[in-house]
Structure 1
Amino acid sequence: MHKTYGILILASFMVAGCSATQVKQANLGKIVGPQESRLILSTKNTVNVGDVMLRAGEYSKEGIKLETETFNLKDSHTTHLRHRQHTFTFSIPSGEYRLYSQNPNGSYYASEQTFSGLNGTKDGYGGLFVPNGSSNATEFYWNWNKPSNLLSAHQAELITPISGSIGKTSTVEKSRNSIPSATLTYAGVANGQVRFAYREFTDQGMARPAFTQEVALDYKPGSTYSYKSALFKVYKADLQSITFEIINPLY
């Protein structure tokens, strides 16, 4: 009687173990976009009297640097996940995983590649979860359907953490404004002063007369000048042209 009772208890634990799940709903937290910073694309410039020196949002003078944190895998891996009576097997590719979102416990890095399903498992889309202060991915998250933005996902603990390295990747985009909202034009040198004309424009590119100013600053070769948001160094200025370097663009 006692032996039979013991067998029944053991069997019940075995069933419970088989039906237990490793899979949970992912807490993706807050989506993290690339960090933007303005980047000066030009160095020294020379323009003639009457030519524009600076344009707010000018394509050739400034760009936008987009920087994203990454989790990098040197080697590919295979993971097995048990959910109720099913075992899912995925191939985790090597490469660069970009930071997608963060919660209080860590960061979710997304793969641009598909997670290939093995042994009858469908392909998945997602990435890896890395706890705060660690360079090891401890969990895997995925969605069965390819999303434009991953809003929900399944998540499961990896049997063996995957070691990687935290890094950054960056791209540079040219400024997106096609019509400048303001310009600074070189107006020559007179009486020991270097002169400029500042103009503001409407969204249609029309000059706004009330926002046109003549600017005269004491001239000294090699000096740095500021006006509005612009900061620039003047190497040489005369009656014909000016040679300068943009430090901070005109917005």
Structure 2
Amino acid sequence: MIKTVIPRLALIASALLLSACSTQLRTVRLGEPVAPKAISGKFFFISHSTANVGDVILTEGEYLKDASDLQYEMFRVKKSTTTSVEHKMSTFKFSIPAGDYLLRSKTLEGSYYSAPVPFAGLEGTPAGYGGLFVPNETSEATELYWHWTPNKSNVYQAKLTSPIINGQEISGPGATLTYVGVAADQIRFAYKEFSEKGIATPAFTQEVILDYKPGGTYTYKGAQFIVEKADSTHINFTILRPL
């Protein structure tokens, strides 16, 4: 009887020891930081184009670039949340802040985005310096990474309690001018302004009717263009100033 009890006690003790040593985190290396893309200086070039009836001929911001801007790839967290990580006999609990997380580095597995501020530690957990990890096969952040001191390349990484959806909204154009056609010596366009989500609303849609003169120069809403030729199917035009 004693001989059978001892092995069982040993197995239970081993299981408890392994459970106590288990962890949800691993150590990873972030790799080299990704530099933001630089946008060249402000410029505009005259554009000669042909469009069909119903085609957009001008889009706000098209043909124009701002000087010395830097473009960052971002992951937006709209609402702060909490997550916890089990490590041996401890539980680390963090507050994941809302805000724009800038791309920090990329690996073969996915992308690392830096948090705008450190993760606040909860229930005795120290603050963590890090961000979120987004695997290649998804657009959601599924893991967090951090270190107890800032600016470390070797960091801890673990699963989030719940994945975080990228909160960036894809915006459409701010405004467009569409060619409608020519009739009775008048040329017609449709001007549309869009909401932040790129949805046209009737309140911001306007019909534009101008006298038609081949080779004439037209100015509307800050845009300037020459209409070389227009008929019921096509328009040939040159953009002198963008919308």
Task: Please report the TM-score for the alignment, with normalisation by the length of structure 2.
Answer: 0.56
The one-letter code matched in structure 2 to 1:10 is: I
Which residue in the other structure is 1:154 paired with?
A: 156
**127, 140, 143: which one pairs with 2:131?**
127
Secondary structure in 2 matching 1:63: coil
Question: Structure 2 matches for 1:180-191, cutoff 5 A?
Answer: none
**17, 20, 23: which one pairs with 2:22?**
20
Q: Which runs of 5+ in 2 are unaligned?
A: 47-64, 171-216, 218-225, 227-239
* 1:86 is the counterpart of 2:90: yes
Alpha-carbon separation, structure 2, partners of 1:160 and 1:11: 33
Q: C-alpha offsets along residues 161-214 of structure 1, whole Å, 9 cap, x if unaligned?
A: 22324679xxxxxxxxxxxxxxxxxxxxxxxxxxxxxxxxxxxxxxxxxxxxxx
Task: Tell me if the contact between 1:125 and 1:146 (Cα under 8 Å) persists in the aligned partners.
Answer: yes
Question: Structure 2 matches for 1:210-221, cutoff 5 A?
Answer: none
Task: Tell me if the contact between 1:71 and 1:96 (Cα under 8 Å) persists in the aligned partners.
Answer: yes
Question: Structure 2 matches for 1:13-162, cutoff 5 A?
Answer: 13-40=15-42, 63-147=67-151, 150-162=152-164
Secondary structure in 1 matching 2:117: coil
Alpha-carbon separation, structure 1, partners of 2:147 and 2:94: 12
The one-letter code matched in structure 2 to 1:135 is: S
Alpha-carbon separation, structure 1, partners of 2:20 and 2:94: 20
Task: Tell me if the contact between 2:102 and 2:114 (Cα under 8 Å) persists in the aligned partners.
Answer: yes
Question: Structure 2 matches for 1:235-250, cutoff 5 A?
Answer: none
Secondary structure in 2 matching 1:31: coil
Shift of 1:73: 1.4
Task: Tell me if the contact between 1:69 and 1:166 (Cα under 8 Å) persists in the aligned partners.
Answer: no
Shift of 1:23: 2.2
Shift of 1:88: 1.2
Alpha-carbon separation, structure 1, partners of 2:33 and 2:14: 42
Instruction: Identify if the C-alpha distance between structure 1 residues 26 and 166 changes in structure 2 by more than 3 Å, giving closer, same or farther.
Output: farther
Task: Tell me if the contact between 1:135 and 1:165 (Cα under 8 Å) persists in the aligned partners.
Answer: no
Shift of 1:160: 2.8
Which residue in the other structure is 1:203 paired with?
A: none
Instruction: Identify if the C-alpha distance between structure 1 residues 120 and 143 changes in structure 2 by more than 3 Å, giving closer, same or farther.
Output: same
Task: Tell me if the contact between 1:74 and 1:95 (Cα under 8 Å) persists in the aligned partners.
Answer: yes
CA RMSD of aligned residues (A): 3.4
Which residue in the other structure is 1:58 paired with?
A: none
Shift of 1:30: 3.2
The one-letter code matched in structure 1 to 2:69 is: K
More strand by share: 1
